[in-house]
Amino acid sequence: MKNISYKGRAFAACTSSMILLSAMFASQSASAHGYLEVPPSRALACQKGLNTNCGGAQYEPQSVGETFKGFPAGVGGAPLQGPVDGKIASGGHSLFSALDAQSATRWQLTEIKDRNIDFQWHYTAVHPATKHEYFITRNGWNPNEALKRATFESTPFCTVDGGNQKPSNSDKHNCTIPADKSGHHVILAIWTVGDTDAAFYNPADVNILAEPELPGGWSSVGSISPSTTLLVGDKVKARAFSANGEKPEFSVEIAINSAEEGQPNNWSFKLADAINQAHTLVRAGVRGENGDIEPVKGTNSVFAQKDSGVTRYEVQLNMQEDAAARLSVASQQVEYVLDKGVAKVDFSIISNRKMNVEATLFDESNKPVGSTSAEVASGASWLALDVRSNPGAHTLTLVGTTLDGRTTRQDTQTTKLTGEGAGADYDFVFPEGISGYTAGTKVLQPKTNEVFECKPFPESGYCKQYSPTANGYEPGVGAHWHMAWNKL
């Protein structure tokens, strides 16, 4: 890995000089931005409302912690690089200084129940990465003192080489939290940018609840949690992974050969037993008082020895289509009568499986004018759509997916609407599609049952200015709607 030297920055060895350094850094206008998404960084937890009194961090978590590379240089008299002690969370930027506050109860803790974890980053401006590193606080650290270099272990517990390549917008790194870490800790995630002098320092406040290494050298690496009934011909695969990727030599697959085997507790037992028959360094089941691990008809934990290299298991269901599944519109009215453009279109459906269904009515221009969704049981069910449209031929589309997700069925029927039309046509029901409103866009305001047209440029810019708490330009309702809209 390329080592980057900052020998020319001798003035960075003192705090006052670091303030100057931060100012110089800001002037470079580096455009890389991103944050730790899973588990959420301290700043992202602010934006989500999990943390409070966060200052500017809650508005732009993607900018938090940006400062020079080099952590943890500065320990033991070495030249200081990276963020200043006490300002690690903010990166030394005053706008984010609220994040430097530290106490045992100041920040929301994310529970970590599995030591094998996928750290996930989200980038709003992707730049090449030389590496990602993950540091964790030392055992016995004081959660009521400001975060310093000495607060953290001197070496990262996980390092991912970025190869100076641009990651995807959402990037995952599989790591294992050290076995001796439990309870309240801070994980410092660092994204070192390849084409600037910057690194992003994101602390994540966590409560590690994962089991430590068990007697006999076993570590918990996953579980088989049965929930879905399987059919003959389906397969279940326990996929094994190391820190570097999948380990197919430790993966195990079973086939479902009977309806009895397809019952959740039964296939869980069969898969756990197959793992135990195939391997000695991996076992699945429940630990007994004597430490033996034996499969049960229910949820089975999966354990691995360190020599296996396995750090986690995932259960993959390979389900065949349910060829016998059926869904259709059973009955509907000969016609539905509109009253000032509004009607309730009700109809019955029939299915032979429990399904999640969605029904949509389209007008002659294939514009949706009403929709509904519901979970239905096997047998007959009634659905109703609230429709706003004009007289004419319409198309009713019914789409259903079985609850296990294996099969989708669709039925399409023609439907006739008569009576009094809605008058003016529209493109959207406000505020749907608001980000695409331009001059001439027509919207139906459901609060007044009226149609409005977005004014020409430059007034058209006001058509997008809406939020539930700031609705001054909301058509027909807001105090200034006349500036943006014409009523049709």
Tell me if 276 is assigned to some domain: yes
Tell me if 296 is assigned to some domain: yes
Lowest mean pLDDT among 82-91, 214-223, 344-353: 214-223
pLDDT reported for residue 211: 65
Record the pTM: 0.46
In one-letter notation, the amino acid at residue 344 is K
Percent of the chain, pLDDT > 70? 91
Contacts of 150 by beta carbon, 8 Å cutoff, 6+ apart:
75, 85, 138
Give the mean model confidence (pLDDT) for residues 395-408: 94
**In terms of DSSP bridges, do strands 408-419 and 336-338 run parallel, antiparallel, or are they unpaired?**
parallel
Same domain, 404 and 443: no
Tell me the three state secondary structure of residue 483. helix
469 CB burial (10 A radius; 0-12, 13-18, 19+): exposed
pLDDT in tens, 431-469: 988 989 999 999 988 888 889 999 999 999 999 888 877
Nearest to 252 by CA among 267, 264, 266, 240: 240
pLDDT in tens, 332-350: 999 999 998 889 999 999 9
For residue 37, the Cα-to-chain-centroid distance in whole angstroms is 8
pLDDT reported for residue 396: 97
Tell me if 2 is assigned to some domain: no
Confidence of residue 103 (pLDDT cuts 50, 70, 90): very high
* C-beta of residue 484 within 8 angstroms of C-beta of residue 455: yes
Question: Rounded distance, CA 256 to CA 61, Å?
Answer: 47
Same domain, 301 and 158: no
Same domain, 471 and 351: no
Same domain, 395 and 452: no
pLDDT reported for residue 408: 96
Tell me the three state secondary structure of residue 465. coil
Confidence of residue 17 (pLDDT cuts 50, 70, 90): very low
Token representation of residue 178: 């050290």
Question: Rounded distance, CA 218 to CA 234, Å?
Answer: 31
Confidence of residue 214 (pLDDT cuts 50, 70, 90): low
For residue 81, the Cα-to-chain-centroid distance in whole angstroms is 33
Does residue 330 have a pLDDT over 90?
yes
Tell me the three state secondary structure of residue 127. coil
Lowest mean pLDDT among 47-51, 207-211, 346-350: 207-211
Question: Rounded distance, CA 29 to CA 423, Å?
Answer: 53
Q: 255: domain CATH number? A: 3.30.70.2150
Tell me the three state secondary structure of residue 470. strand
Lowest mean pLDDT among 80-84, 436-440, 472-476: 80-84
Does residue 115 have a pLDDT over 70?
yes
On the question of a cis peptide bond just before residue 212, with omega within 30 degrees of 0, the verdict is: no
Tell me if 281 is assigned to some domain: yes
Same domain, 404 and 352: yes
Question: Rounded distance, CA 342 to CA 336, Å?
Answer: 10
In one-letter notation, the amino acid at residue 205 is D
Same domain, 94 and 177: yes
Does residue 7 have a pLDDT over 70?
no
pLDDT in tens, 164-199: 888 877 788 999 898 888 889 999 999 998 888 888
Same domain, 71 and 163: yes
Tell me if 1 is assigned to some domain: no
Same domain, 342 and 467: no
Question: Rounded distance, CA 85 to CA 88, Å?
Answer: 6
Tell me the three state secondary structure of residue 481. helix
Tell me if 3 is assigned to some domain: no
Domain boundary among 419, 451, 474: 419
- Name the domain count of the chain: 4
What range defines the domain where residue 81 resides? 10-208
Tell me if 483 is assigned to some domain: yes
Question: Rounded distance, CA 151 to CA 74, Å?
Answer: 13
Does residue 13 have a pLDDT over 70?
no
